[in-house]
Structure 1
Amino acid sequence: MTDRSALQIQLEQGIAALGLALPADAVPRLLDYLALLERWNAAYNLTAIRNPAEMVTRHLLDSLAILPHVRGETLADLGTGPGLPGIPLAIAAPGRQLLLVDSNGKKVRFLREAIRALKLEGVRALQSRVEEVEGRFDCITARAFASLADMLAWGGHLLAPGGVWLAMKGKTPDEELAGIPPAFALRGVHALTVPGLGAAERHLVVLERAKA
């Protein structure tokens, strides 16, 4: 078990390196989320990452790295798993309506407990396949669960006109860019530097839906 104060220092240094200014209670709440995830992970195998310090890097800081690109009043996090990047984003930038979507029942049970335990206002968890979700959102986040073409085929209907889709990828998905449907415009591919990840590649593909 890693000492919480050591995790706090690691997290605070990472947030500073990302140049983010978060609410005063964000760091303790992010660590509470991590502790809850670690506890549930022992029984439910929600994430392959077991080491708490590695979780700070690969889960919390990796999620927070996209915060400058998040916008709008409503956000859907598709294929969220145990709440990544959705829950860190909800803690770091509260105030928007946020829907966490996953098809895995045990992960959604964890999400609902996390929402309750962390008192995350405006956050809901839904067990569903992406293509069956209804609604329109200003912003959609998705950690690389599929190719860009597949992601947009399954979930593109959820993005409001003028909304942004933030696809979190590893290497630059150059070969996938040609598969972006005509209704979506590529607004940028950003290399992300996640503190503590070293040479591991992280890229954010920003897409915008054409206004009707």
Structure 2
Amino acid sequence: MDIITKYFPHLTATQQRQLTALDDLYRDWNAKINVISRKDIDNLYEHHVLHSLAIAKAVTFRPGAHVLDFGTGGGFPGIPLAILFPETQFKLIDGTGKKIRVCQEVSKAIGLQNVVAEHLRGEDEKGKYDFVVSRAVMPVDKLLKIIRKNISREQHHALPNGLLCLKGGDLHEELRGVEKIAEVTDLSTWFDEPWFAEEKKLVYIPL
């Protein structure tokens, strides 16, 4: 948890309790359903929770805003973001029902009131959202084709509505056609741990 408070020092007691509880919860669920690489569970806070919260360095979600976590897996980035922004509404979707059950149970266990998790393919999601967030689900160009329909035309943030996507590696091909509007930020801009310097990036594309 120290790595979280290092970068987010103004957490409430409730937020600290919820974040602290994630360790035992994900270890327990990971023993039943492999939602995080078994060799990576010891790096939960750095590689998964803090990685997810990089999105919060780019935008402060407003109360009443709606955010879709596309391909959430076991709840990343949606659950850490929902803890950080308790007055923002998050919908977490994934095509694997077992992973959605983990999201539902973890959210319930820590008392999150602003999360809905549903077993659903992105193509079938009909709702409108201020932002779609995701973490290395699929190539950006393919993701954009699916989620354009889900971006609301009503603007509530200084940052225009769009996609916020955590990615790694060379993104040249994935961003072909949107390179003029895409904003790519190295996560090492915000976090000084060596892992974040290994081509970890946040891609923002207004839609």
When normalised by structure 1's length, the TM-score is 0.83
Verify: 1:79 aligned to 2:71, yes or no: yes
RMSD of aligned Cα (Å): 2.1
Change (3 A) 1:119 1:15: same
Verify: 1:47 aligned to 2:36, yes or no: yes
Moved more, 110-119 or 129-138: 110-119
Q: Report SS of the residue matched to 1:177.
A: coil
Deviations 1:22-67 (A, max 9, x none): 3332222112123111101101111114454311111111111221
Change (3 A) 1:186 1:198: closer
Equivalence for 1:188: 183
Is the 8 Å Cα contact of residues 69 and 133 (structure 2) preserved in structure 1? yes
- In the TM superposition, residue 96 of structure 1 has moved relative to its aligned partner by 0.6
Matches within 5 A, 1:33-182: 33-70=22-59, 71-72=61-62, 73-161=65-153, 162-180=160-178
Deviations 1:65-100 (A, max 9, x none): 221223341100000000001000111121111000
Runs of 5+ consecutive residues of structure 1 not aligned to the other structure: 1-10
Is the 8 Å Cα contact of residues 66 and 204 (structure 1) preserved in structure 2? yes
Is the 8 Å Cα contact of residues 131 and 162 (structure 2) preserved in structure 1? yes
Runs of 5+ consecutive residues of structure 2 not aligned to the other structure: 154-159
Is the 8 Å Cα contact of residues 3 and 46 (structure 2) preserved in structure 1? no
Q: Report SS of the residue matched to 2:130.
A: strand
Change (3 A) 1:198 1:115: closer
Identity %: 31
Number of aligned residue pairs: 195
- In the TM superposition, residue 172 of structure 1 has moved relative to its aligned partner by 4.4
Matches within 5 A, 1:27-38: 27-38=16-27
When normalised by structure 2's length, the TM-score is 0.85
Is the 8 Å Cα contact of residues 175 and 182 (structure 2) preserved in structure 1? no
Equivalence for 1:197: 195
- Give 1 or 2: higher strand fraction: 1
**Residues in 2 aligned to 1:178 and 1:21: alpha-carbon distance in whole angstroms:** 39
- In the TM superposition, residue 199 of structure 1 has moved relative to its aligned partner by 3.9
Matches within 5 A, 1:11-30: 11-16=1-6, 18=7, 21-30=10-19
Change (3 A) 1:136 1:40: same
